[in-house]
Every structure is written in structure tokens, then in C-alpha cells.
Amino acid sequence: LSHPECYGGLVFTSPRALEAIRICLKEKSKKEAWSKSLKQMWNMKPTYVVGKATASLVEEVGLIPQGEKSGNAEKLAEYICSREKPNSSALLFPCGALKREVLPAVLREKGIPLESLTVYQTTQHPDLQESLSTYFSQQGIPASIVFFSPSGVKFCLQHIQKLSGDLINQVKFAAIGPTTAQAMEGAGIPVSCTAGSPTPQELAAAIHRALHPQNC
């Protein structure tokens, strides 16, 4: 972050990457450097983001997001390719250890350099199994379950299947987007609905349609 002159811009595809940025800027000296000059230097270059949640966090650190309506990595990659020239300065991509290769692959194909930097790791919450067990014992089998990421499917599904038993077929499973839907299908879950775009409104509308098909 201290060397904006080395890069052509920034790419963020998750809120966690912004949390890492905030941790970097916690130290007083780094915060001052960011406010005095670094932020302005980065704002002379594009900051590409994948959705509204990430865009709002980008704004909070003082940067101007672009491409937030893209909604997923594939569409963001297309958006970047339409604005960047091949063989220009590399875009800095702070990302997670589980990042998909879609965005890097598309940019590589178009000759747009990208420097991926792993800044966080996705792990299972230590209380996940206990929390799910408590919910199911108190509330029973839910009408719908929403997955927000492939890692959510990876870490939660086995517990949900165990707790639901034969009644799992009654549950409507929803996905926040196509990537999560693919992970669900890969794990053998029937996807009842996918949000049209990764926003609370679109997700709520999709779940409503899945639960009340006769009201469409």
C-alpha cells in the first residue's frame, strides 16, 4: 500500500480484504501517511470492486470504487478488461487463500498483469457446530437456508445434513450468487433459488419466490 507508484490500481472482491487493509492502517504513522498522500495517489488509479458491500468498505477507507454492479468475479474481470490496456502496470489484488482463479485467468488471457497477495485465510468458526446444534434444537428444521460462499457450503453442510436427517428435503436452499450455487450443486444440494444480484433485497425476493411459488 505504501507504493502506489508500482501499480496500475487495486482490485477487491471481498469485504475481508478491506478488513486487512484497515488492520494495515491502524498504526498511527501509517494512518497519517495514508491520509496525507497515499490515499490521493491511489485515487488517481482505479479501485475495482465486485459488489456493494465491498464498495462501501472501499469508500470508508477513502477510495473511490468502480465496477460494483458487476456482482461476481467473471463480470468484474470483463469490466476490468474493457478499461485496462495489456502490459500496463500490474493491478494489486489483496485476496483470500481460497480465491477462485476466474478473475486472474481472464486477466492473464487478455495480457493484463495482476499481482495477487494473500491477506486472509478462511477457517471454520470454532463454535459453528455447537451454534447450529443449538439453533436446530430450539427452532427446529428451518424453512430455508442461505449460503453466502462456497466455504460456507464446505464448513456447514455436513452439520446441517446430520441435524436435518430425512427432513432435509423440506428445506429450500438459497445461494447469494452463481459461484455459491455451483458449490452447492457440486455438493449435491438442490438450489431452490439464487439472488439476481448480491443484495439483501434481491436475496429476500428470491427466497420469497422459492417459499411462495403460487404468489409469483
pLDDT in tens, 97-111: 877 788 999 999 999
Residue 80 burial (CB < 10 Å; 0-12/13-18/19+)? Answer: buried
**pLDDT value of residue 30:** 93
Give 146-168 pLDDT, tens digit per residue. 999 899 999 999 999 999 999 99
Residue 213 burial (CB < 10 Å; 0-12/13-18/19+)? Answer: exposed
Say how far apart CA 63 and CA 96 lie, in whole Å: 20
pTM > 0.85: no
99-108 contacts at long range (C-beta below 8 A, 24 or more positions apart): 99/13, 100/73, 100/179, 102/73, 102/74, 102/77, 103/11, 103/13, 103/73, 103/74, 103/76, 103/77, 106/74, 106/77, 106/78, 106/81, 107/77, 107/80, 107/81
In the predicted model, what is the mean pLDDT of residues 40-62? 94
In the predicted model, what is the mean pLDDT of residues 46-65? 94
In the predicted model, what is the mean pLDDT of residues 61-67? 96
**Which position has the grid cell 455438493?**
187
Q: For residues 208 and 174, is the Cβ–Cβ distance under 8 A?
A: no
Give 176-208 pLDDT, tens digit per residue. 998 899 999 999 999 999 998 888 999 999 999
On the question of pLDDT at 216 being above 50, the answer is no
Q: What share of the chain is helix, strand, coil (3-state, %, to 5)?
A: 55, 15, 30
Domains belonging to the chain, first-starting first, are: 4-120 (3.40.50.10090), 127-211 (3.40.50.10090)
Q: For residues 1 and 24, is the Cβ–Cβ distance under 8 A?
A: yes
